[in-house]
A and B are shown apart, each in its own frame.
Chain A
Amino acid sequence: MMPGIEFLLAALAPFNILLAVAGVVAGTVIGALPGLTATMAIAVLIPFTFGMRPESALIALGAIYTGAIYGGAYSAILLNTPGTPSAIATTFDGYPMAKRGDGDLAITLACIASVTGGLVGAMFLLMFAPPLARFALAFGPVEYFWLAVFGLTLIASLSEGSMLKGFVGGAVGLLLGTVGVAEVGGDIRYVGSFNELLGGIDVVAALIGLYCVPVLIDLVATPDPHLKLTQEVKGYRLREAASISWRSKFNLARSSVIGTLVGILPGAGGSIASLVAYSEARRVAKDPGRFGKGEPDGVIATESSNNATVGGGFIPTLVLGIPGTPADAVILGALLVQGIRTGPTLFGAQSQIVYTFIYGLLIATILMLPIGLVIGRYAFKSIVAIPKATLVPSVALLTVIGSYAVHNNASEVQQMVTLGVFGWVAGRFGYTASPIVLGLILGTIAESGFVQGYLIGNARGQPVAEFFTRPISLGIIAFIALGLLYPLFTARLRARDNANE
Chain B
Amino acid sequence: MKRFYKSVAAGLIGATAIAAGVAFAAYPEKTISYIIAFGPGGESDISARLQEPYFKKLTGQTVAIQYKAGAGGAAAWSQINSAPGDGYTIIGTNLPHIVLQPLQKDVGYKTADLANVYWFHYTPDAIIVAADSPYKSLEDLVAAAKKAPGTLTFSGSGTNSANHLAQQRFDKLAGIKSTYIPAKGTGASNTALLGKHVAGAYSYSTVGTQLGAQVRCLAIALEKRHSALPDCPTFKEKGYALVSGAYRGIAVPNTTPKALQQTISDLIGKINKEPAFIKSMEEKGFAMIDVGLADMPAFMAERQKEYEAIARDMGIMKK
- Identity of the chain B residue whose Cβ is nearest the Cβ of A185 in the assembled complex: B159
Contact status B41-A138, CB under 8 Å: no
Cβ contacts under 8 Å, B195 to chain A: 136-140
Mark each residue of chain B from 99 to 122: 1 if its CB lies under 8 Å from any CB of chain A, else 0.
Answer: 000001111100000000000000
- Residues from chain B with a CB closer than 8 A to the CB of A140 are 192, 195, 197
**A196 CA to B197 CA, complexed, in Å:** 34
Query: Which of chain B's residues 57-111 have a Cβ closer than 8 Å to chain A?
Result: 65-72, 74-75, 78, 104-108
* Segment of B148-156, B218-226, B250-258 engaged in the interface with chain A: B148-156
B31 an interface residue at 8 Å Cβ cutoff?
no
Docked complex Cα distance between A407 and B108 (Å):
17
Within the complex, which residue of B46, B188, B194, B213 is in contact with A333, where a contact is CB–CB below 8 Å? Answer: B46
The answer to whether A344 and B67 have CB atoms under 8 Å apart is: no
How distant is the Cα of A136 from the Cα of B194 in the complex, in angstroms?
A: 10
Given contacts A138-B195, A455-B181, contact A333 B41 (CB under 8 A): yes
| With contact pairs A345-B213, A452-B182, A459-B153 given, residues A43 and B75 touching in the complex (Cβ less than 8 Å) | no
In the complex, what distance in Å separates the CA atom of A316 from the CA atom of B106?
38
Contact B67 A43 (CB under 8 A): yes
Contact across chains for A408 and B39 when beta carbons are under 8 A apart: no
A321 touches B107 (CB 8 A): no
A153 within 8 A of B: no
**Contact (Cβ within 8 A) B183 A407:** no
B190 contacts across to A, CB distance below 8 A: 320-322
Given A181-B72, A343-B213: A266 and B191 interface contact (C-beta under 8 Å): yes
B297 on the interface (CB 8 Å rule)? no
Residues of A close to B18: CB separation below 8 A: none
Q: Are A323 and B212 in contact (CB under 8 A)?
A: no
* Whole-angstrom distance between the Cβ of B233 and the nearest chain A Cβ: 23
Q: By the criterion CB–CB under 8 Å, are A460 and B151 in contact?
A: yes
**Interface stretch (choices A168-176, A273-281, A334-342):** A334-342
Closest chain B CB from A477 CB (angstroms): 18
Nearest chain A CB to B303 CB, angstrom units: 20
Do the beta carbons of B71 and A455 come within 8 Å of each other? no
> Which chain A residue lies CB-closest to B183?
A452
Q: Contact at B197–A344, with CB atoms within 8 Å? A: no
Question: With A and B bound together, what is the CA distance between A501 and B187 in angstroms?
Answer: 59
A351 interface residue, CB < 8 Å from B?
Answer: no
In the assembled complex, the Cα of A185 lies from the Cα of B196 at a distance in Å of 22
> Given that A195-B106, A330-B41, A333-B41 are known contacts, is A407 also in contact with B68, CB under 8 Å in the complex?
yes
Interface majority SS on B: helix, strand, loop or mixed? Answer: mixed
- Contact yes or no, A321 B182, CB < 8 A: no
Give Cα A137–Cα B211 distance, bound, in whole angstroms: 14
Q: Mark A313-333, 1 if CB is under 8 A from B, else 0.
A: 000100011110010011111
C-alpha gap A326/B153 in the complex (Å): 26
Bound complex: CA A15 to CA B152 (Å):
52
User: Nearest Cβ distance between residue A451 and chain B, in whole angstroms?
Assistant: 8
Q: How far is the CA of A137 from the CA of B283 in the complex (A)?
A: 27
Minimum distance in angstroms from A313 CB to a CB of chain B: 12
* Cβ-based interface call for A458 (8 A): yes
Quick check: B71 and A181 within 8 Å, CB to CB?
yes
Residues of B within 8 A of A316 (CB): 191
Task: Identify B159's interface contact among A186, A332, A342, CB under 8 A.
Answer: A186
B160 within 8 A of A: yes
With a CB–CB cut-off of 8 A, which chain B residues contact A156? none
By the criterion CB–CB under 8 Å, are A455 and B153 in contact? yes
Give every chain A residue within 8 A of B192 (Cβ-Cβ).
140-141, 452
Number of interface residues of B (CB under 8 A): 56
A47–B40 alpha-carbon span in the complex (Å): 12
Q: Judge whether A455 and B179 touch: CB under 8 Å.
A: yes
Are A321 and B69 closer than 8 Å at their CB atoms?
A: no
> Does A183 sit at the interface, judged by CB under 8 A?
yes
B161 closest partner in A (C-beta):
A186
| Chain A 333-371 interface 0/1 with B at a Cβ cutoff of 8 Å (1 = within) | 110110101111100000000000000000000000000
CA distance A329 to B191 in the complex (A): 13
Q: Mark B169-186, 1 if CB is under 8 A from A, else 0.
A: 000000000010111100
A333 and B45 contact, CB distance less than 8 A: yes
Q: Decide: A198 and B159 in contact? CB cutoff 8 A.
A: no
Alpha-carbon gap, A181 to B316, bound state (A) = 13
Considering the chains assembled together, what is the distance between the CA atoms of A186 and B198 in angstroms? Answer: 20
Q: In the complex, which residues of chain B have a beta carbon less than 8 angstroms from the beta carbon of A456?
A: 153, 179, 181, 197-198
B191 & A336 in contact (Cβ 8 Å cutoff) = no
Q: Nearest Cβ distance between residue A60 and chain B, in whole angstroms?
A: 16
Q: Is B133 an interface residue (CB 8 A)?
A: no
Which of B21-79 touch A at CB < 8 Å?
Answer: 39-42, 45-46, 49-50, 65-72, 74-75, 78
**B227 part of interface (Cβ distance < 8 Å):** no
B210, CB-defined interface residue at 8 Å: yes
B280 beta carbon closer than 8 Å to chain A? yes
Inside 8 A of A180's CB, which chain B residues have their CB?
71
CB pair B105 A183 closer than 8 Å: no
- Complex contacts, B188 vs chain A, CB 8 Å: 266-267
Q: Would you give the 0/1 interface string for A447-463, flagging 1 where the beta carbon is closer than 8 Å to chain B?
A: 01000100110111100
10 smallest beta-carbon distances between A and B, as pairs: A333-B41, A137-B195, A186-B159, A199-B71, A199-B70, A140-B197, A198-B71, A329-B41, A459-B179, A337-B49
6 A-B interface contacts by CB (under 8 A):
A184-B159, A198-B74, A320-B211, A322-B190, A329-B41, A332-B41
A: which residues have CB within 8 A of B?
Answer: 43, 46-47, 50, 136-141, 180-186, 188, 195-196, 198-199, 202, 266-267, 316, 320-323, 326, 329-334, 336-337, 339, 341-345, 407-409, 411, 448, 452, 455-456, 458-461
Given contacts A330-B39, A334-B41, 10 further A-B contacts (CB under 8 A): A183-B159, A185-B182, A199-B72, A329-B41, A336-B46, A336-B210, A337-B46, A407-B68, A407-B75, A408-B68
